[in-house]
């Protein structure tokens, strides 16, 4: 049986559902953090309210290059998630995901503000820290399954955590 339709549906569900689920998870995390600090906290839908407010603000970019770089970041981020959920090659997905971090760094370095330079430095540090862990996890999937194909990795009958606990520990760290 051809499971291609399931992977196409998975990619479409990712593109449509990830923003909704991400906002709900962020709202729940904000609420939980506030409760742990003894506060009531914002409503769970607060990220949506923030997003709507953001849409009503004036777009301010330093130059057209920054707008192009940010748009490229958004497109590549959506593309990497769609590639992952459609069952494509894990290494290619990883490299597209790494490219998104590079575009975000370039967008932050374009303005000559010290605040944007600080943000660019932080983004580059994060990329250097999590990039090798994601690559190592991809290699772990290859060692456990013999392929980088995400479809083959997804179709395993047993959990791959059993075959690669060290890779999982390094990724979580």
Write phi, then psi, for 58 (nearest 5 degrees).
-75, 140
pLDDT score of 113 more than 60: yes
pLDDT digits (tens, 9 = 90+) for 51-92: 999 989 987 766 788 888 989 999 999 999 888 888 888 889
Question: Looking at 34-104, which runs of residues are DSSP E strands?
Answer: none
pLDDT score of 2 more than 70: no
Give me the mean pLDDT over the 156-173 stretch: 76
Give me the mean pLDDT over the 110-117 stretch: 83
Nearest residue to 85 via CA among 149, 10, 3: 10
pLDDT digits (tens, 9 = 90+) for 4-30: 787 788 888 888 899 999 999 999 999
- Tallying the residues shown for the chain, one arrives at 173
Which carries the bigger pLDDT value, residue 34 or residue 143? 34
Work out the percent of the chain whose per-residue pLDDT is above 90: 28
Residue given tokens 């995400």 in the structure block = 150
DSSP code, position 58: P
Residues 6+ apart with CB under 8 A from 146: 152
pLDDT score of 172 more than 80: no
Reading the block at residue 97, the tokens are: 């995901």
Report pTM: 0.76
Give the Cβ contact number of residue 117 at 10 Å: 13
Residue given tokens 């374009």 in the structure block = 110
């Amino acid at each position: 049986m051809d499971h291609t339709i399931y992977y196409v549906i998975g990619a479409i569900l990712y593109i449509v559902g990830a923003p909704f689920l991400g906002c709900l998870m962020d709202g729940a995390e904000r609420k939980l953090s506030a409760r742990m600090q003894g506060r009531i906290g914002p409503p769970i839908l607060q990220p949506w309210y923030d997003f709507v407010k953001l849409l009503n603000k004036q777009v301010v970019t330093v130059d057209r290059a920054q707008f192009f770089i940010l748009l490229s970041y958004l497109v590549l981020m959506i593309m990497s998630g769609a590639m992952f959920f459609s069952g494509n090659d894990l290494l290619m997905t990883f490299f597209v995901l790494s490219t998104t971090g590079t575009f975000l760094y370039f967008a932050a370095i374009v303005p000559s503000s010290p605040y944007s330079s600080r943000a660019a430095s932080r983004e580059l540090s994060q990329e250097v820290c999590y990039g090798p862990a994601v690559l190592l996890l991809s290699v772990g999937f290859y060692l456990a399954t013999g392929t980088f194909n995400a479809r083959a990795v997804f179709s395993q009958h047993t959990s791959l955590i059993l075959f690669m606990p060290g890779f999982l520990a390094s990724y979580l760290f």
